[in-house]
Amino acid sequence: MFASSTRNIPAVRAVPRHLAIIMDGNGRWAKQRFLPRVAGHKQGVETVRRVVGACIERGIEYLTLFAFSSENWRRPSEEVSFLMNLFVTALEREVGRLHGNGVRLRVVGDLAAFEPRLIDLIRRGENLTADNRKLTLTVAANYGGRWDLIQAFNGLALAYPEKAGNYTENDLQPFLAMSYAPEPDLFIRTGGEQRISNFLLWQLAYCELFFTDRFWPDFDAALLEEAIASYRRRERRFGRTSEQLPAAPDAVLPAPTLSTDA
C-alpha cells in the first residue's frame, strides 16, 4: 500500500513519480482553426502518444490522464458519441504499441455506462499489459472524484460493517479506483482554466499544481519539461516549516538532457 501524504511525509524526488493531467482545450484549439471541435479531440490523441513517450524518457512511473469526466455526458450527444468512438479507435490502434513500450494500461471510472465493445477493449488492453512496469498509464474515463470517493466508502462499509464509525484513511485507500498508484506529485492542466473539475479529489491533497494556457493538442515535451522544472523549484513542506525540511540530495541533480520531443 502507498503511503498517504497526510499520514506520512513522502520522499520528494527531482522528477515526479506520478504525473496527473487534465487534457483541456481540444475544442478551442479546433475553433481557432475553424475546424469542428472533434478535430481537436482527434489531435489530442496524437498528443497523448507524444506525452507517453516523453514520460517514459524522463523516468516518470505513473501518468494519469483525464479523458472524460462524469459531467462530460452533458455535452451534445454527437460530441459524446465521437469521443466514445475515438476511445475505441485509440485502444484498437495504440494498445499493441503501449505493450511493446512496456506500458501498463489501466482505465478508471464508472465503466458500466460504456458500450460492451468498449468495455471489452479496455479489459483486454488491461490484461495484455498487466505485467508491464516501465510506465503505468491510467486513463480516467467517466471518472469523477466524487464518484470515486462514494464508491470507495460504499465498498469499505460493505466489507467492514463492524468498523463503521472508526474508518481510517488506510482503510479507505484500497477501495479507491487508483489504489495501485502513489498520490500524484505533479498535476498539469492545459487550456487555461484553473480548476480541478472533479478530477482526483482525494489524491491531489498535497500535489503540486501547474496550469498552462496552451491547448492540449499543442502540449509537447518542452512544456512538460517546463512543468517539471517548476515542480523542482517548489518547496514541498507537507505542513512543516522550511527550516524543518531535510536537504534533499536529489533536488540538486542537474536536469536530464533530453530531446525536446519524443
Out of Mg ion, ligand IPE, none, what residue 101 binds, judged by CB under 5 to 8 A for its kind, is none
Nearer residue to Mg ion within complex by CB, 24 or 61: 24
Q: Does 132 bind ligand IPE (CB under 6 A)?
A: no
Q: Which stretch binds Mg ion (CB under 5 A): 16-24, 73-81, 92-100, 177-185?
A: 16-24
Q: Which of 16, 24, 47, 236 binds Mg ion (CB under 5 A)?
A: 24
Nearer residue to ligand IPE within complex by CB, 109 or 182: 109
Within residues 57-96, the interface with ligand IPE by CB under 6 A covers 66-69, 72, 83
Out of Mg ion, ligand IPE, none, what residue 67 binds, judged by CB under 5 to 8 A for its kind, is ligand IPE
Q: Does 191 bind ligand IPE (CB under 6 A)?
A: yes
- Shortest Cβ 24–Mg ion spacing (Å): 4
| Catalytic residue positions, numbered | 24, 72
Q: What is the DSSP string of the chain?
A: -PPPTTTSPPPP-SS-SEEEEE---HHHHHHHTT--HHHHHHHHHHHHHHHHHHHHHHT--EEEEEEEETTGGGS-HHHHHHHHHHHHHHHHHHHHHHHHTTEEEEEES-GGGS-HHHHHHHHHHHHHTTT--SEEEEEEEEE-HHHHHHHHHHHHHHH-GGGTT---HHHHGGGSTTTTSPPPSEEEE-SS----TTSSTTTTTT-EEEE--S-GGG--HHHHHHHHHHHHHS---TTS-GGGSPP-GGGGSPPP---S--
Which parts of this chain interact with Mg ion (CB under 5 A)?
24
